[in-house]
């Protein structure tokens, strides 16, 4: 029999990660000299703010966003693993906001890393959402995939200059 769980902890962490991502991209936008790169960081900053709102809305409507556990006890282990990854990601973003980057390529590589991590975590979390709630998370995942492509494309372009 399926047991129901509340995605509250993951949503709290997702909100924090998206807010930290917004701060990071805002910081990079302010420091960017290349107009195309500045535009990319501004776009990603706005997208992270939108994603934060999506997760906040999910959090406010927790009763609508229950997840189903497939095997007893499986969710707790998964929650710990995904929480650890996201907490680590949040801390890493905070460090990079403070430290900065030595080059545009280093900043792009970090953005690519964060987008990949988000795609992996959100895709894994998706399996635990009820079917009628998956489209909300799917939209965020698709946007993260677009970010990955945009960052990778811009990196190749800058490396080719």
Q: Which one, of 119, 144, 130, lies nearest residue 51 by Cα?
A: 144
Q: What are φ and ψ of residue 160, in 5° steps?
A: -80, -10
Q: Tens digit of pLDDT for each residue in 61-109? A: 866 766 655 566 666 677 667 767 777 788 888 899 899 999 999 999 9
CA distance to 28, 53, 111, 118, per residue, from 41 (Å): 6, 19, 9, 17
- The token pair that represents 82 in the structure block: 């995904």
**Per-residue confidence at 60, pLDDT binned at 50, 70, 90?**
confident
Spatial contact of 19 and 52, defined as CB atoms under 8 Å apart: yes
Spatial contact of 128 and 74, defined as CB atoms under 8 Å apart: no
Q: How many CA atoms lie within 13 Å of 132's alpha carbon, on the beta-carbon side?
A: 3
Q: What is the pLDDT of residue 160?
A: 87
pTM of the prediction? 0.83
Spatial contact of 51 and 18, defined as CB atoms under 8 Å apart: yes
Q: What is the pLDDT of residue 1?
A: 33
Give me the architecture of the 3-159 domain, per CATH. Answer: Up-down Bundle (1.20)
- The token pair that represents 118 in the structure block: 């988000």
Q: Is 68 helix (H, G, I), strand (E, B) or coil?
A: strand
Q: Tens digit of pLDDT for each residue in 11-25? A: 787 888 889 899 999
Q: DSSP code of 3?
A: E
Spatial contact of 137 and 125, defined as CB atoms under 8 Å apart: yes
Dihedral sign, Cα of residue 12, residue 14, residue 19, residue 20: positive
Q: Where are the domains of the chain?
A: 3-159
Q: Which residues contact 72 (CB under 8 A, 6 or more apart)?
A: 3
Q: Tens digit of pLDDT for each residue in 23-34? A: 999 999 999 999
């Amino acid at each position: 029999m399926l047991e129901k769980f509340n995605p509250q902890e993951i949503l709290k962490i997702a909100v924090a990660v998206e807010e930290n991502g917004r701060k990071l991209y805002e910081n990079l936008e302010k420091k960017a000299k290349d107009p195309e790169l500045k535009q990319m960081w501004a776009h990603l900053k706005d997208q992270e703010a939108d994603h934060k709102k999506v997760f906040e809305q999910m959090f406010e409507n927790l009763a609508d966003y229950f997840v189903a556990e497939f095997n007893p006890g499986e969710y707790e282990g998964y929650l710990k693993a995904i929480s650890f990854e996201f907490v680590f990601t949040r801390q890493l973003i905070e460090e990079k906001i403070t430290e900065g980057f030595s080059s545009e390529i280093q900043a792009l590589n970090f953005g690519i890393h964060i987008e990949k991590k988000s795609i992996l975590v959100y895709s894994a979390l998706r399996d635990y959402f009820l079917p009628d709630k998956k489209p909300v998370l799917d939209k965020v995942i698709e946007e993260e995939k677009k970010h990955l492509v945009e960052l990778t494309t811009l990196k190749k372009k800058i490396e080719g200059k």
